[in-house]
Amino acid sequence: MGLPKRIRISDKFRFECTRCDLCCGTGPNVSITIYDAVRIAEKINVSINDFLRFYVKVIIADMIPVMLLPGDMKGRCAFLGFSENGKTYCKIYEARPMKCRLFPIKIFKLSGEELEIDEECPGIGSGPEREVPKELVESYRKELKMHYELLHKLIIEDGLEPIEALRNALNIASYELGKEMRKGFYNAKS
């Protein structure tokens, strides 16, 4: 496997999802932000605390908690469904993580023009030519930045233990997203 292919945010690329399940069905599990967690918990109608207890795996990496969506023994996402004709679908499509919304595009830094594209995806090179969804890229970058800044503040500056900090961060994110939704500003596109 070589270096990932880089594209610029202004580039166009050909892509059409084949619903092959390579992205959702082969692992590793998807890491999610506190904002992803809030959207998913709301979609599946569970409290944020129950979502943290029953729907994610948390790994502490150098004091920073990382939430992963669970997978089965084959590495398939817990929210990957199979229709009667064998095609895959996302059970939480409207609330799927930002990382999934962008696939096959991958963010590898929080600013700049360069992105990565997953060339292992069989849908690359087929279908209509598309523009990079710039607004979605910027929304995800903003969420990533807020996610890590908040966890850093709670753990490093306020001295909370990682899991306690994660719980607090989830409650803060839940309040923030709820406030934005009530005002009508929040729009998770794609």
Pairing of strands 88-90, 80-82: antiparallel
Whether 187 is in a domain gets the answer no
pLDDT computed for residue 188 by the predictor: 46
Residue that wins the pLDDT comparison between 123 and 86? 123
Residue 62, sorted as left (phi over 0), alpha (psi -120 to 50) or beta, turns out to be left
- Asked if residue 166 has pLDDT above 90, the reply is yes
pLDDT computed for residue 101 by the predictor: 94
Whether 13 is in a domain gets the answer yes
> pLDDT band at 9, cuts 50/70/90?
very high
Whether 176 is in a domain gets the answer yes
pLDDT computed for residue 26 by the predictor: 74
- Asked if residue 75 has pLDDT above 90, the reply is no
What is the per-residue burial (b if ≥16 Cβ within 10 Å, else e) of 59-74?
eeeeebbbbebebeee
- Asked if residue 61 has pLDDT above 80, the reply is yes
- Asked if residue 180 has pLDDT above 90, the reply is no
Q: What is the mean pLDDT of residues 133-158?
A: 96
Tell me the pLDDT of the chain averaged across its residues. Answer: 88
All residues at 6 or more sequence positions from 190 whose CB lies less than 8 Å from its CB, including other chains = 101, 102, 133, 136
Q: What is the DSSP letter of 94?
A: G
Percent of the chain having pLDDT more than 90?
64
The string of pLDDT tens digits covering residues 22-58 is: 888 776 678 999 999 999 999 999 999 999 999 999 9
Please tell me the distance from the alpha carbon of residue 18 to that of residue 51, in angstroms, as a whole number: 30
Whether 2 is in a domain gets the answer no
Closest CA to 138 of 159, 109, 177: 109
Whether 189 is in a domain gets the answer no
Whether 169 is in a domain gets the answer yes
Percent of the chain having pLDDT more than 70?
91
Whether 155 is in a domain gets the answer yes
Low-confidence winner among 19-23, 86-90, 134-138 (lowest mean pLDDT): 19-23
Domain count, the chain: 1
- Asked if residue 59 has pLDDT above 90, the reply is yes
pLDDT computed for residue 28 by the predictor: 63
Element (H, E) at 45: none
Whether 188 is in a domain gets the answer no
Q: Which domain holds residue 25?
A: 8-125+132-182
Q: Enter the pTM of the model.
A: 0.88
> pLDDT band at 120, cuts 50/70/90?
confident
